[in-house]
Amino acid sequence: MSNQEKDIYILAIESSCDDTSAAVFCNDRLLSNEVATQAIHKKYGGVVPELASRAHQKNIVPVVDIALKNAGVDRSQIGAMAFTRGPGLLGSLLVGVSFAKSFALARNIPLLEVNHMQAHILAHFIKDEDEKDAPEFPFLCLTVSGGHTQIVKVNSHLDMELIGHTIDDAAGEAFDKGAKILGLPYPGGPHVDKRAREGDPEKFAFTIPNVPGLDFSFSGLKTSLLYFIRDNEKENPNFLEENLNDICASYQQAIVTFLLQKLKRAARETGVKNICLAGGVSANSNLRNQLTELGESQGWKVFIPRFEYCTDNAAMIGIAGYFKYLKGEFASQDITPAARLSI
């Protein structure tokens, strides 16, 4: 495994957006992963940063306590502390960074600073009861979350190249903003997914965005949905209600087709055939199914994470921290959060 002399227990925390999460690892083996989701944002139809920071402040100690208890590990056994430095909401990150620094200082253990986007990708290396194979290097990862849409060429655990990204909204925002237009609750992705399963993806045609190279753009798609509903409601005020499942299926189809079109191009241009999915939107059933089918037709080896590792969680922070620990890459006590942080 490594030149490590003895087992290392790592406590990891994630607080970049609206989930407070803590995980405990023994080396690369996950022992526990607890997530407290902040329900408060549902009321506002989106994450309210100030409320998110306050909820993190309230949740962080209990969530860490439960993670340690469920792992059967005492805090005195923890040998390193991993945390999300960014990207994310500054107030939310501050809670996690401050907690991590205090814990590390109190226990006199090293700090492991983690990039949230790298962590989404490294979730593929978490060892758990599934005993699934990890992807071989190099691989391409399509990372699709609420704040990011990226195609990354992964050369090794900590050497990653961004080869494509969104120039405006993220794929998750296309789902969430689209869902808002359709009157569905926040976060909209899972609701669109559920409705789409009962609908016909061919019923309505949404134009696939035309963006050069390996980049993405989703804001036009969301606007076309808005106009589509508005125009049809002029003819039939019940249009939305009567066609909701088909609209969800057709809109989702456009998002997924666009994502896979770019991924196919990236694979062709790089010649890489190991393909991974990561981030919250990789929980989407249509994306998972279509990527699996595309992989079979293209001769790719496709890796899709378990549902609980798709949306934000501390397990992915812990595994990323573990690879930094192996390389001796420790953060100092002067570290500050970074709302913007490239991969």
The alpha carbons of the chain give a radius of gyration, in whole angstroms, of 20
The interface mask with ligand KG4, positions 116-135, x = CB under 6 A, is --------------------
Q: Return d(Cα 297, Cα 237) in angstroms, integer.
A: 43
If one asks whether residue 91 binds ligand KG4 (CB under 6 A), the answer comes out as: no
Q: How many CA atoms lie within 13 A of 202 on its CB side?
A: 0
Query: By C-beta, is 110 or 147 nearer to ligand KG4?
Result: 147
Closest CA to 203 of 140, 237, 251, 273: 251
AA letter at 66:
I
Which stretch in 155-163, 172-180, 198-206, 296-304 sits in contact with ligand KG4 by CB under 6 A?
172-180
Task: Rank residues 79 and 190 by Cβ distance to ligand KG4 and give the closer one.
Answer: 190
Among 53, 145, 149, 274, binds ligand KG4 (CB under 6 A): 145
Distance CA 339, CA 91 (A): 9
Residue 276 within binding range of ligand KG4, rule CB under 6 A: no
The interface region with ligand KG4, picked from 36-44, 209-217, 240-248, 275-283 by CB under 6 A, is 275-283
Residue 256 and residue 205 in contact, taking contact as beta carbons nearer than 8 Å: no
Burial class (CB in 10 A: 0-12, 13-18, 19+), 57: middle
What is the C-alpha to C-alpha distance for residues 273 and 311, in angstroms, rounded to an integer? 25
| Candidate segments 59-67, 126-134, 219-227, 281-289, binder of ligand KG4 by CB under 6 A | 281-289
Asked if 147 is part of the footprint of ligand KG4 (rule: CB under 6 A), the reply reads: yes
Give the Cα-Cα-Cα angle 87, 93, 94 (nearest 5 degrees).
140
Helix axes 189-196, 285-298, angle to 10 degrees: 70
Which one, 149 or 253, has the nearer CB to Zn ion? Answer: 149
112 and 10 Cβ atoms separated by less than 8 Å? yes
Choose among ligand KG4, Zn ion, none what residue 283 binds, the Cβ cut-off being 5 to 8 Å by kind. ligand KG4
**What is the phi-psi region of residue 212: left when phi exceeds 0, alpha when psi lies from -120 to 50, beta otherwise?**
beta
Q: Which does 138 bind (CB under 5 to 8 A by kind): ligand KG4, Zn ion, none?
A: none
Contact mark string toward Zn ion, 166..195, x via CB under 5 A: ------------------------------
Provide the token pair at 192: 């669109």
Using the rule CB under 6 A, is 279 a contact of ligand KG4?
A: yes
Give the x-and-dash track for 201-220 against ligand KG4 (CB under 6 A).
--------------------
Look-up of token digits 């606007």:
223
15 binds Zn ion (CB under 5 A): no
Confirm or reject binding of residue 175 to ligand KG4 (CB under 6 A).
Answer: yes
Tell me: does residue 47 bind ligand KG4 (CB under 6 A): no
Closest CA to 178 of 203, 282, 187, 40: 187
Alpha-carbon distance values, 262 to 49, 177, 202, 208, 258 (Å): 32, 22, 21, 11, 6
Number of neighbours of residue 277 by Cβ within 10 angstroms: 27
Among 86, 96, 280, 295, contact with ligand KG4 (rule: CB under 6 A): 280
Binding part of the chain for Zn ion, among 27-35, 139-147, 220-228, 322-330 by CB under 5 A, reads: 139-147
311 binds, among Zn ion, ligand KG4, none (CB under 5 to 8 A by kind): ligand KG4
State which of residues 19, 34, 173, 312 lies at the interface with Zn ion (CB under 5 A). 312
- Is 17 a binding residue for ligand KG4 by CB under 6 A? The answer is yes
A 10 A CB-CB count for 5 gives: 6
Lookup result for tokens 């994470």 = 305
Provide the binding-site residues for Zn ion, judged by CB under 5 A: 145, 312
Site residues (vs ligand KG4, CB under 6 A): 17, 145-147, 172, 175-176, 187-190, 193, 279-281, 283-284, 311-312
